[in-house]
C-alpha cells in the first residue's frame, strides 16, 4: 500500500504515514504537538482536530466530546482517527495545541534554610554538613621506592585518608586498568572523585590526571509528570549555576500516570516512555552546560525526585503493578545507578540517585518536599499539600508523619472540563463578576482560549457569591445574560467568541462544576480523614504548605471559599514553590540530607484511602461549596450570611 501524505496546519508540516495510522500517533512521531490527556484512549476529548482534506476514518469513540456542529464541520479526535489514502490535511486548532506553560522553576524555601554557599546547615535539632554526594580530591603522590613500596591504589588511599575522615575506602574496578600508566605519565598528580551515598564507605568512581577539582557539577531534577525542571549546581561552592525547564515528552503517551502505565504495560511497552523522559532531561542538560560554559563530562552526579511512577519510568522499571490492587511498586528505595546506563548525558562514570518513595502514590517528590519545608524537624503540626491529578498530602511533625494520596482527577489541570486548559498563554486565570458583568485576566494578556485551574476556582467562587449557582453547584439564575443552556446543560460564558482567540465561547458548565467539586472534595476529605485518624481537626494545623506550580497561582481566599483548602488563619498558609526540586538539590549537596530523606520515607505511615472506612462518607460530605458542615468554614459562612 502506498504511503499517505499528511499535512499539519498551521505548521505547514507535511510527513509520510502508513494507511491506518492514527493522526495522534503520526503527530507524536513527527514532533507535532497535540493536546492529549488520556494517552489516546478517547476519553478526554482534548485532541480535537479538523480534517480539511482527504480520506480518514473516525472510529466514533469519544464522539460525545464533539457537538453536532463540530462533527458537521469535520472535527474529529486525533487519537481515534485513521488516515486512509492520498493526501490528508489536518488543522490543529488553538485549543488543541500545546504551548509554553508557566513552569515553576523556583521555590520559596530559602526563608527557612539557605543552602547556597554554606559550609554547614543548621536546622532545629539536627546538624547537617554540606558534603556533596560527589566530591573531588587532588592528590600528589610520592614516587614508590624499595622502602615505600605500596601499590598505586594504596598510595591513593593513604593520601585520601589525610583529607577525609572516612574509615573505609572502596574503588570501582573501572578505575584500575589505566591507573598505573596514568599516574606515571602525569608526575603522580591526579584528581580522585569520591561518591558518598554510603558515607562510611566512600566509593572511588573516577581517577583523572591533573587537578580537575574545579569541574565538579551536579544536577538536581524534578521529574514531574507534566514538566521537568533541572538545576545545575556547582558542588564545590554549593551554588545553583543555572535552571532549565521543559514539558515532559512522555505527555504524548498520556497526560497522567495511569495512562502512561497502561501504555507501558498493555500497548507498546516501556522503552518509548523511558526514552521520552531521558530525552527531555538530556535536552535540558545540553542547554544548561552551554549557558554555563562547561562540558557535559563535568557533570559528576544527578539526584532525581519524582512520583513513584515517574521514578520507575526513568529507571526503566516495570510500573504495571502500581495501579493494580494491592498497589505494589517494584521498589521504594532505589540503589544508585550509573547515569550512562539510564541514558543520561554527563561524565561516563556519573551516578544517578533517586529520591525514596513511600508507596505507589506517594513518591520521591513528596519525601523531598517534606524535608525541604521542614515538617519533620518541627514540633508544630504541619501539612504539605501537592495538588495534581493525584493530591498528595503529608501531615505530621518531628515525632510522626502520616500521608495519603487522593485521586483528584485532572479537572484542576484542564481535563474533564469543557474549556479547561493548562496554565498557558490565553488561559483565563482570574475572574470577577460585578453588576452582571464579567471581568477576567488571561495569561500573557492574550485573547481568552480556556480556563486554567485558578480560573476555574475563581469562576466557582464568583458564581456562588453572585447567586448564579447554589452551594451544590447547580445553576439557579438562568436569566443572567452570561447563562445559557446547551443540550440541556446550563453553562456560564466567561468570554464570548468575539473576544476570544479561537472565536469560540469560553464557558464553564454545570457538569464542569460537578467534576471540580468532586476533585476538591477528594483532597479535603483526605485531609480530614488523616487528621481525624489522629484525633485532630483542621484547627490543629499550625502550618499548611502548598507545593508545586498549581499552588503558586491560587487565590487563597477563593480556594478556601470552595473548600479545597481548610479554613485556617491565612498566616498559616505558605506557598513553598517547587519543593521537590528544593529537596533534590539539598540531597545533592549533602549526603547526610540524602540519608535523612531516606529515613523520612521509611518512617512515614501511609493511609490507603480506597479501603479506609470513613473516606467515602467524608468525600460525600465535601461535595458542597465549601462543605456540608459549614461550621468547618466559619469565615465562608460569615461571608455568605453577610450578603443577606
Query: For residue 57, what is the domain's CATH number?
Result: 3.10.20.30
Q: Do residues 618 and 522 share a domain?
A: yes
pLDDT tens sequence across 471-514? 999 999 999 999 999 989 999 999 999 999 888 899 999 999 99
The mean pLDDT of 566-582, rounded to a whole number, is 93
Going by pLDDT thresholds of 50, 70 and 90, the confidence category of residue 108 is very low
> What is the distance between the alpha carbons of residues 26 and 36, in angstroms, rounded to a whole number?
13
User: What is the CB neighbour count within 10 angstroms for residue 145?
Assistant: 7
What is the C-alpha separation between 220 and 301, in angstroms, rounded?
9
Domain assignment present for residue 84? The answer is yes
Residues 331, 240, single domain; the answer is yes
Say yes or no: 233 and 310 in one domain. Answer: yes
Average pLDDT over residues 194-206: 86
Which pLDDT does position 624 carry in this prediction? 96
Query: Are 91 and 52 a contacting pair, CB within 8 Å?
Result: yes
Q: Is residue 533 part of a domain?
A: yes
126 found inside a domain: no
Boundary of a domain, candidates 96, 125, 152: 96
Specify the higher pLDDT residue, 354 or 248. Answer: 354
In a domain, 588, yes or no: yes
Give the end of a domain, one of 96, 119, 150: 96
Could you give the CA distance from residue 357 to residue 377 in angstroms, rounded to a whole number? 19
Question: Once rounded to an integer, what is the mean pLDDT over residues 298-326?
Answer: 95
Closest CA to 369 of 388, 390, 392, 389: 392
Short-list 292, 282, 311, 107, CA closest to 223: 311
Confidence of residue 127 (pLDDT cuts 50, 70, 90): very low
Residue 154: count other Cβ atoms within 10 Å of its Cβ: 11
Whether omega before 10 lies within 30 degrees of 0, making that bond cis, reads: yes
Q: Report pLDDT digits (tens) over 502-535.
A: 888 999 999 999 999 999 999 999 999 999 999 9
Higher pLDDT, residue 142 or 31: 142
Tell me how far CA of residue 8 lies from CA of 30, 34, 151, 537, in angstroms: 10, 11, 66, 54
369-425, pLDDT tens digit by residue? 999 999 999 999 999 999 877 889 999 999 999 999 998 777 777 777 889 888 888
- Assign residue 633 the CATH number of its domain: 3.30.420.40
CB proximity list for 372: less than 8 A, separation 6 or greater: 107, 109, 576, 579, 580, 582, 583, 586
- 47 shares its domain with 168: no
Look at residue 98 in the predicted model and tell me its pLDDT: 64
Residues 447 and 405 both lie in one domain: no
Q: Is the domain of 51 the same as that of 144?
A: no
3-state secondary structure of 14: strand
Question: Are 393 and 531 in the same domain?
Answer: yes
The reply to whether 478 and 457 lie within a common domain is: yes
What's the CATH number where 160 sits? 3.10.20.880
Question: Is 369 domain-assigned?
Answer: no
Q: Domain boundary at 470, 505, 540, which?
A: 505
- Could you list the residue range(s) of the whole structural domain that residue 325 is in? 217-364
In a domain, 511, yes or no: no
Q: Are 403 and 394 in contact (CB under 8 A)?
A: yes
Question: CB–CB of 389/405 below 8 Å?
Answer: no
Q: What is the pLDDT of residues 249-307, one digit of tens each?
A: 888 787 788 888 988 988 668 999 999 999 999 999 999 999 999 999 999 999 999 99
CA distance 251 to 39: 8
- Is residue 358 located within the same domain as residue 258? yes
Tally of structural domains, the chain: 5
Note whether residue 79 is domain-resident. yes
Q: Both 521 and 618 in a single domain?
A: yes
**Are residues 290 and 255 both part of a single domain?**
yes
536 and 399: one domain? yes
Share of the chain above pLDDT 90, in %: 66
Per residue in 77-86, pLDDT tens? 998 999 888 9
**What beta strand segments (E) does 524-594 contain?**
543-547, 573-577
**If we measure between CA atoms, which residue out of 573, 181, 130 comes closest to residue 384?**
573
121 found inside a domain: no
Amino acid at each position: 500500500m502506498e504511503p499517505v501524505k499528511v499535512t499539519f496546519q498551521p505548521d505547514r508540516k507535511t510527513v509520510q504515514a502508513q494507511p491506518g495510522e492514527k493522526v495522534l500517533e503520526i503527530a507524536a512521531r513527527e514532533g507535532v504537538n497535540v493536546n492529549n490527556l488520556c494517552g489516546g484512549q478517547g476519553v478526554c476529548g482534548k485532541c480535537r482536530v479538523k480534517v480539511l482534506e482527504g480520506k480518514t476514518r473516525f472510529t466514533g469513540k469519544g464522539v460525545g466530546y464533539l457537538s453536532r456542529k463540530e462533527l458537521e464541520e469535520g472535527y474529529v479526535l486525533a487519537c481515534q482517527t485513521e488516515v486512509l489514502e492520498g493526501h490528508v490535511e489536518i488543522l490543529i486548532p488553538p485549543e488543541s495545541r500545546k504551548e509554553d506553560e508557566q513552569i515553576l522553576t523556583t521555590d520559596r524555601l530559602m526563608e527557612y534554610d539557605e543552602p547556597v554557599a554554606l559550609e554547614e546547615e543548621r536546622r532545629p535539632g539536627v546538624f547537617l554538613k554540606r558534603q556533596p554526594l560527589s566530591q573531588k580530591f587532588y592528590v600528589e603522590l610520592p614516587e614508590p621506592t624499595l622502602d615505600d613500596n605500596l601499590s598505586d591504589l594504596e598510595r591513593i588511599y593513604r593520601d585520601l585518608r589525610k583529607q577525609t575522615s572516612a574509615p573505609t575506602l572502596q574503588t570501582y574496578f573501572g578505575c584500575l586498568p589505566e591507573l598505573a600508566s596514568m599516574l606515571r605519565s602525569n608526575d603522580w598528580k591526579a584528581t580522585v572523585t569520591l561518591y558518598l551515598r554510603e558515607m562510611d564507605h566512600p566509593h572511588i568512581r573516577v581517577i583523572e590526571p591533573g587537578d580537575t577539582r574545579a569541574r565538579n557539577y551536579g544536577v538536581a531534577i524534578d521529574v514531574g509528570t507534566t514538566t521537568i525542571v533541572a538545576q545545575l549546581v556547582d558542588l564545590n561552592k554549593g551554588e545553583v549555576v543555572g535552571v532549565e525547564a521543559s514539558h515532559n515528552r512522555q505527555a504524548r503517551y498520556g497526560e497522567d500516570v495511569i495512562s502512561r502505565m497502561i501504555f507501558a504495560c498493555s500497548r507498546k511497552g516501556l522503552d518509548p516512555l523511558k526514552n521520552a523522559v531521558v530525552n527531555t532531561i538530556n535536552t535540558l542538560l545540553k542547554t544548561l552546560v552551554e549557558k554555563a560554559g562547561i562540558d557535559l563530562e563535568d557533570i559528576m552526579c544527578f539526584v532525581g525526585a519524582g512520583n513513584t511512577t515517574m521514578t520507575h519510568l526513568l529507571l526503566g522499571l516495570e510500573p504495571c503493578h502500581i495501579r493494580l490492587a494491592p498497589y505494589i511498586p517494584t521498589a521504594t528505595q532505589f540503589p544508585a545507578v550509573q547515569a550512562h546506563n539510564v541514558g543520561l548525558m554527563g561524565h561516563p562514570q556519573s551516578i544517578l540517585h533517586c529520591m525514596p518513595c513511600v508507596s505507589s502514590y506517594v513518591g520521591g517528590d513528596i519525601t523531598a518536599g517534606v524535608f525541604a519545608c521542614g515538617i519533620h524537624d518541627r514540633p508544630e503540626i504541619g501539612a504539605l499539600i501537592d495538588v495534581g491529578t493525584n493530591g498528595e498530602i503529608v501531615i505530621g511533625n518531628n515525632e510522626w508523619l502520616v500521608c495519603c494520596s487522593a485521586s483528584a482527577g485532572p479537572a484542576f489541570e484542564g481535563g474533564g472540563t469543557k474549556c479547561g486548559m493548562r496554565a498557558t498563554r490565553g488561559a483565563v486565570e482570574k475572574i470577577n463578576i460585578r453588576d452582571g458583568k464579567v471581568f477576567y485576566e488571561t495569561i500573557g494578556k492574550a485573547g481568552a482560549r480556556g480556563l486554567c485551574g485558578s480560573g476555574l476556582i475563581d469562576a466557582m467562587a464568583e458564581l456562588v457569591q453572585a447567586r448564579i449557582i447554589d452551594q451544590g453547584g447547580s445553576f439557579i439564575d438562568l436569566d443572567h445574560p452570561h447563562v445559557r443552556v446547551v443540550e440541556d446543560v446550563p453553562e456560564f460564558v466567561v468570554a464570548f467568541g468575539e473576544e476570544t482567540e479561537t472565536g469560540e465561547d469560553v464557558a464553564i458548565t454545570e457538569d464542569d462544576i460537578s467534576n471540580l467539586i468532586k476533585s476538591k472534595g477528594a483532597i479535603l476529605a483526605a485531609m480530614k480523614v488523616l487528621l481525624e485518624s489522629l484525633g485532630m481537626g483542621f484547627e490543629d494545623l499550625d502550618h499548611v504548605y502548598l507545593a508545586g506550580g498549581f499552588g503558586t497561582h491560587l487565590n487563597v481566599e477563593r480556594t478556601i471559599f470552595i473548600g479545597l483548602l481548610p479554613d485556617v488563619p491565612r498566616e498559616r498558609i505558605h506557598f513553598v514553590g517547587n519543593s521537590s526540586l528544593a529537596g533534590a538539590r539539598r540531597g545533592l549537596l549533602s549526603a547526610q540530607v540524602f540519608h535523612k530523606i531516606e529515613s523520612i520515607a521509611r518512617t512515614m505511615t501511609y493511609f490507603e484511602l480506597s479501603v479506609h472506612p470513613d473516606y467515602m462518607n467524608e468525600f460525600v460530605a465535601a461535595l458542597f461549596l465549601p462543605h456540608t458542615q459549614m461550621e468547618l468554614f466559619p469565615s465562608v459562612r460569615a461571608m455568605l450570611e453577610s450578603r443577606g
